Structure 1
Amino acid sequence: MSYLTLKNAVPAPIKGVPTHEYKEFKAAIKELLEQECRLSSLFAVPTDSDNRIFAVMTNDKKGEIYVFATKYAKTFESLTPEIPQAHWFEREIAEIHNIKINNHPWLKPIRFMPKSGEKNFPVAGDTDYFKINGEEIHEVGVGPIHAGVIEPGHFRFQCYGEKVLHLEIELGYQHRGIERIFPKTPHNKRIKIIEAAAGDTTIGHTTAYALNIEGLAGAQISANDALVRSIALELERMANHTGDLGAMAGDVGFMPTSSYCGRIRGDILNTTGMICGNRFGRGLVKPGSSGYQIDAELKKKISDKLDLIEADVKSAIELIWQTPSVTARFDETGSVSRENAVAIGLVGVAARAAGIAVDIRMTHPFDAFKELEAVVPVGKKGDVGMRAQVRWHELQNSFKLVRDMLAKLNFEAEKSEVNDDICGKLAPDMISVALTEGWRGEISHAAITDANGNIKTYKITDPSFHNWFGLALALRDQEISDFPLCNKSFNLSYCGHDL
């Protein structure tokens, strides 16, 4: 079966993407999945001459990305009954492009956006929901409005007593139309849109965007710039893993770790702020460079700060493993089997906790990770306890990675010589796929340029897009009171999904 083979953020002519008949297209996806590849993205590209659905498959063993396509009309036969990884993508395609996808098991909106050619937005959440009938079955609805500053999302439980038989997750309340407006946005303002795609993953998404633009513009960044961007990516991972471990402790009423981690997360965010003036890293990553440099004085300040943070975080988080009442609540709660994780295409922490050894930093290295190796912790049970342990091991490794990167900085080296107009000088009729490993997991950005070198299609796949259904599976046969803990152990993005 033919497909275009790419390396991470290395573009190729779009004419090299083969277009198969539907049966061959489906067979190619199934064949690659059997070889332990993953469906990183599936999206439709309508044009005046033809309409095609593109599949982006990731081969972690070979460090390769495969792209191929099939034509579609007003109807399309669903891949989902045989390829579960396609189910959420097909719902998205049907919603955006007004395509009838036949035999999809549950074809309904995921974002409640206007269909192609329409202007009126449907009412978010106004749709059919899965139901289980029975005298003692009851339904519990949670959200979309939640306490505090939590993003909106609706969770509908079908329960027998306290046991959850099924959870249906309805999102879309945060939809902003990022992919729709992106090609029309002036190229010098696009980085601002990417920074807001998922606010807690600013570095992960902006790095993927920068890699695509650099590849399409034929630009090379300096070793120092690559190091600064990678340092920021690890700080982002550290801050969020620390916050999540504290929040998980809070969900079982263990306040010592919860209280400490909230403060420590702030210390890590402030370290990012020391580099660029923004705690979430906005302005730090730019196509062709890093927006800021780390000099000898700042390097020492960061190193000293890391020493203090590491001591604090170790003291706070190790309390979890020393407290049986906490570990008893974590263990055997919210399990996702490896078989199910593979079937639905889980990524990141959730995948590694279930026994899938996948990390883009190692399999498709970028920036400083081309020379530095990250530790990839892998669990077995796929439960809350394993998701907590994977986070803890990754957090500890991130301290080492940041120190190694700081040591590699060369203060005598020149900055990247990149024209500020790099975003407006892209190669025409090309396709590029950039992958990064955000703190939640694989981030995929696919870019297609037109004959004039303008971006005509930009497809973003946040790790949460893959993982929300994993949360639904984790709640099956659990007590409904376990939902807050399971939810936090995934800690998925609403806006990153809704875009």
Structure 2
Amino acid sequence: MKALEPLLMRDVRQLPVHDLQTFAQLCDARLHAGDRLLTLFGRPDVKAGPDALVITAVLQPEAGELSVLRASAQRGEHYPALTGQHPGAQIHERELWEQTDLQSDGHPWLKPVRYEGERQQHMADYPFFKVRGQEVHEVGVGPIHAGVIEPGHFRFMCLGEHVHHLEIQLGYQHRGVEALLLRRPPLTLAPLVESICGDSCIAYSWAYCAAVEALTDTRVSAEVEMVRGVALEMERVAMHLAALNGLATDIAFLQGGATYGRLRTAIINASMRMCGSRFGRGWLRPGGVRGLTEAQRLDLVQTLSAFAKDVALVNDLMVSARSVQARFKGVGVVSQLAAQELGLVGLVARASGVALDTRTRLPGRLYAALPADLLTEASGDCWARMQLRMREIDVSISWLLKLLGDTEIDLRCGMAPLQNELRPDLLCVSLREGARGPVVHVLETGAPGQLLHYKVQDPSMPNWFGLALAVRDNEIADFPVCNKSFDLSYCGNDL
């Protein structure tokens, strides 16, 4: 049986287009049946009029390939909100409202996500939730932070040191990524795509490359897929190490703070030797990759073998330290039910017992041939998220050494020209499981060689509300470790 691909192609001319009310009913039925709402977005339909919109929902079932629902609507039109029955839809409906002015009646939390366009000058008007009480006080942190961190505002409602509610306001960067992606020739977007979320360069560029290759009817070799897998798993290891470094530093566990940083440097320096960039820029391009010479392959095997011994030692120190256990166990808990209902994704979902990983659910030919273990933890706290990062590093290293140690595989592949321009009237959904979760790219083509729309979604977007929930009923001093255990992306939200 052919492996399910993390990619879906549909001819838009053959997709049923529903009215907005029917569309909402169909989405509701699918979500009640167990599907997950992967993304929901709209775009202008200039052919149908100045206020006309095309709405797209991408859904992921428990098993089987992705599916798409489409609707036509007019700006300002109303529909029954999905969020009341399906809380995981809340961020998608908020973004849809902000970008298209579609009114989701009954939405309990209809607030801007990024303050786009005309709303940019009105961030001070954000309607923060209020907790009333004579002894309740508010603590505001950011948007300007003391360290090297992107802008975001955190509003804590506290009784003493006890947090009753945290509200997170993002959207300060106003980058306009999706509009920018339509201003350049679609086959030259790789450097821009790599810059959308710099620490997830490989996941983003692979999602883009896979979409462009599908839209141009270009099939790359299995060896190209393998090198891309090497790059992605190297990126996963580096990002998990950065989060572990932050966790250790936040609680002054100096052995971890020093060692995880050193080990991350070894990994990203190895990536630089492979492609010229510590973050993997230029490693992947539509049609191919920078292949690995025999010397580079041996270099990676030696680096990863030495790394595996060192990371095991520091992990043992971290896990066995009573100070670490006291700070992380039972702190920042997100239950399995909450994670499912909020639509959390990636590592933070798996740390709450939600078995969801694109590499196993939609493995494609690479992960079907070389499976990656699906790991979960049950407790849903900072301890679970820390341990899961350690375990996922071990799995990635084993996966890499197995692939790189097979001397019969020739990884000296390179770049190849695409076969065609983008084919017209196609919708392509492309996923890659980055370190934070599924990176989603949706490309829609119009005339040959042109893009009508480019939708990008970072896994951080559905997970920020999970962080706000995790901090409830903890001390305010627990926020830094909760925040770092989630390790979400500000720029991934502020597209």
TM range (shorter): over 0.9
Cα distance per residue 1:107-138 (max 9 Å; x no partner): 221111105xxxx8425454221111110110
SS of the equivalent of 1:11 reads: strand
**2:23 counterpart residue number:** 25
**1:456 counterpart residue number:** 452
1-structure distance, mates of 2:247, 2:111: 32
Matched, 1:282 2:285: no
2:440 aligned partner, one-letter code: S
Whether contact under 8 Å (2:432, 2:440) holds in the other structure is yes
Cα distance per residue 1:269-293 (max 9 Å; x no partner): 1111111010000001111111x11
Matched, 1:484 2:480: yes
Q: TM-score, normalised by structure 2?
A: 0.94
Whether contact under 8 Å (2:285, 2:415) holds in the other structure is no
**1:3 counterpart residue number:** none
User: What is the CA distance between 1:35 and its match in structure 2?
Assistant: 3.6
Please, which of 67, 70, 82 is the counterpart of residue 79 of structure 1? 82
SS of the equivalent of 2:7 reads: coil
Please, which of 51, 76, 85 is the counterpart of residue 53 of structure 2? 51
2:471 aligned partner, one-letter code: L
- Per mean C-alpha deviation after superposition, the further-off stretch among 407-416 and 327-336 is 407-416
SS of the equivalent of 1:184 reads: coil
Whether contact under 8 Å (1:125, 1:170) holds in the other structure is no
- In the comparison of the two structures, how many residue pairs are matched? 486
SS of the equivalent of 1:434 reads: strand
1-structure distance, mates of 2:304, 2:124: 44
Whether contact under 8 Å (1:75, 1:102) holds in the other structure is no
Whether contact under 8 Å (2:5, 2:365) holds in the other structure is no
- Per mean C-alpha deviation after superposition, the further-off stretch among 34-43 and 337-346 is 34-43
1-structure distance, mates of 2:361, 2:246: 30
Cα distance per residue 1:365-397 (max 9 Å; x no partner): 136223111111111121111111111111000
User: What is the CA distance between 1:20 and its match in structure 2?
Assistant: 2.7
**1:209 counterpart residue number:** 208
User: What is the CA distance between 1:413 and its match in structure 2?
Assistant: 7.5
**1:407 counterpart residue number:** 405
2-structure distance, mates of 1:82, 1:453: 40
Whether contact under 8 Å (1:167, 1:472) holds in the other structure is yes
Cα distance per residue 1:151-175 (max 9 Å; x no partner): 1110001111111111100001123
Please, which of 327, 330, 333 is the counterpart of residue 331 of structure 2? 333
**1:197 counterpart residue number:** 196
**1:129 counterpart residue number:** 128
Q: 1:240 to 1:58 in 2, by over 3 A?
A: same
Q: 1:478 to 1:69 in 2, by over 3 A?
A: same
Whether contact under 8 Å (1:60, 1:358) holds in the other structure is no
Whether contact under 8 Å (2:291, 2:412) holds in the other structure is no
2:84 aligned partner, one-letter code: P
Please, which of 374, 377, 382 is the counterpart of residue 376 of structure 1? 374
Whether contact under 8 Å (1:295, 1:411) holds in the other structure is no
Q: How does 1:232-271 map to 2 (within 5 A)?
A: 232-271=231-270
Q: 1:187 to 1:69 in 2, by over 3 A?
A: closer
Which aligned runs of 4 or more in structure 1 are off by greater than 6 angstroms? none
**2:351 counterpart residue number:** 353
SS of the equivalent of 1:247 reads: helix
1:61 aligned partner, one-letter code: A
Whether contact under 8 Å (1:245, 1:317) holds in the other structure is no
SS of the equivalent of 2:57 reads: strand
Q: Alignment identity in percent?
A: 39
1-structure distance, mates of 2:297, 2:5: 32
Q: 1:141 to 1:413 in 2, by over 3 A?
A: closer
Q: 1:67 to 1:188 in 2, by over 3 A?
A: closer
2-structure distance, mates of 1:130, 1:306: 48
